[in-house]
């Protein structure tokens, strides 16, 4: 049997597959179900200071090649997740708390209390595309660095950043400098491709209600963008900064491609929502099969090994 375990910033994961923040992880029931499932970790929905209902529905739409969402950060508020974390840790797999904020000042408030609750890792979400009037922080290196500076001293567990997709090396290099200066322990690449638009030609409408139909694209259709960002940051950090690859993973081969590009673990969003928790067993079987077929006995054996021509 191939070894699908992995380690991120010194934390061991029983398998490299886990939910992406946002997918089936808002309520206590959903998070406990992730604990009982084969997910290699429990990742919370990105949390804000106050509980939020999120944007008006319909706000998620799945289609053949992926999904578009404009959830608008529906979550229980950080106090509820802080209370839940001790229970979530009983499942013997890492708990990753995803921290967001509507204002810069929110991040340190949430980080302090969540860090004290003892998650195994904290992911700071700098890339929500769906709050009307709020740009994605990760597209502004100065704003990103201000927020990182506020929370970095408060967080004692491994701290990562969830970044938006970048489409130009100059933007990746600018962010790399911020990350290197501030001492980040891992990256999660990528969040959804923000402000995309899906149209239903039969009904002649957009498919989600918020923001005139604009929302974050996920699923199979974004895999090349995700792979590009995993690869670019893997190379910028010379393989020394652990990366969680997120975006476009539908089957074991997709996960293998993320690992070849440099991912140490992968997260599942759209396909988890579409298929449910059973997806984790399928992905394990499929990734094990391809690793075995190619003679790799573990993830470390092939991580980052994609060859250039």
Tell me which residues touch ligand RRO (CB under 6 A): 22, 46, 69-73, 100, 125, 127-130, 191-192, 216
- Cα 168 to chain center, whole Å? 20
SS3 138: helix
The distance of closest approach from Cβ of residue 203 to ligand RRO in the complex, given in angstroms and rounded to an integer, is: 23
* Measured CA angle at 226 (ends 222, 228), to 5 deg: 120
- Contact criterion met (CB below 8 Å) for 42 and 85: no
128 is catalytic: yes
Q: How far is the CB of 223 from ligand RRO (least distance, A)?
A: 16
Point out the catalytic residue in the list 16, 25, 128, 261.
Answer: 128
Q: What is the closest distance, in whole angstroms, from the C-beta atom of residue 197 to ligand RRO in the complex?
A: 14
Closest CA to 132 of 244, 210, 21: 210
In sequence order, which residues have a C-beta less than 8 Å from that of residue 226 and are 6 or more positions away?
A: 165, 189, 190, 245, 246, 247, 248, 258
Min separation Cβ 25 and ligand RRO, Å: 11
4 vs 41, which CB is nearer to ligand RRO?
A: 41
- Residue (87 or 104) nearer to ligand RRO, CB: 104
Is the distance from CB of 17 to CB of 39 less than 8 angstroms?
Answer: yes
Residue 73 contacts residue 48 (beta carbons within 8 Å): yes
Using the minimum distance from each CB to ligand RRO, give the nearer residue, 2 or 191: 191
Q: Quick one: 88 or 128, whose CB is closer to ligand RRO?
A: 128
- Give the integer Cα–Cα distance in Å for 287 and 267: 14
Annotated catalytic sites, by residue? Answer: 128
């Amino acid at each position: 049997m191939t070894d699908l375990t992995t380690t991120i910033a010194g934390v061991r994961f029983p398998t490299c597959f886990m939910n992406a923040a946002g997918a089936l992880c808002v309520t206590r029931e959903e998070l406990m179900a992730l604990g009982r499932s084969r997910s290699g970790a429990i990742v919370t929905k990105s949390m804000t200071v106050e509980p939020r209902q999120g944007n008006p529905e319909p706000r998620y739409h799945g289609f053949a090649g992926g999904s578009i969402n404009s959830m608008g950060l529906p979550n229980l508020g950080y106090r509820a997740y802080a209370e839940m974390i001790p229970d979530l840790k009983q499942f013997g797999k890492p708990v990753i708390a995803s921290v967001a904020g509507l204002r810069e000042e929110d991040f340190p408030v949430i980080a302090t209390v969540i860090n004290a609750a003892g998650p195994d890792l904290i992911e700071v979400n700098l890339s929500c595309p769906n709050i009307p009037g709020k740009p994605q922080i990760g597209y502004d290196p100065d704003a990103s660095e201000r927020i990182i500076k506020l929370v970095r001293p408060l967080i004692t567990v491994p701290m990562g950043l969830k970044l938006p997709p970048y489409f130009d090396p100059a933007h990746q290099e600018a962010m790399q400098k911020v990350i290197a200066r501030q001492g980040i322990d891992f990256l999660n690449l990528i969040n959804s491709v923000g402000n995309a638009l899906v149209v239903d030609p039969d009904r002649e409408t957009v498919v989600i209600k918020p923001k005139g139909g604009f929302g974050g694209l996920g699923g199979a259709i974004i895999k090349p963008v995700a792979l590009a960002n995993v690869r670019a940051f893997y190379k910028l950090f010379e393989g020394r900064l652990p990366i969680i690859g997120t975006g476009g993973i539908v089957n074991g081969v997709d996960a293998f491609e993320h690992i070849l590009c440099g991912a140490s673990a992968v997260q599942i969003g759209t396909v988890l929502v579409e298929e449910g928790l059973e997806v984790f067993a399928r992905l394990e079987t499929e990734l094990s099969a391809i690793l075995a077929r190619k003679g790799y006995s573990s993830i470390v054996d092939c991580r980052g090994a994609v060859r250039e021509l």
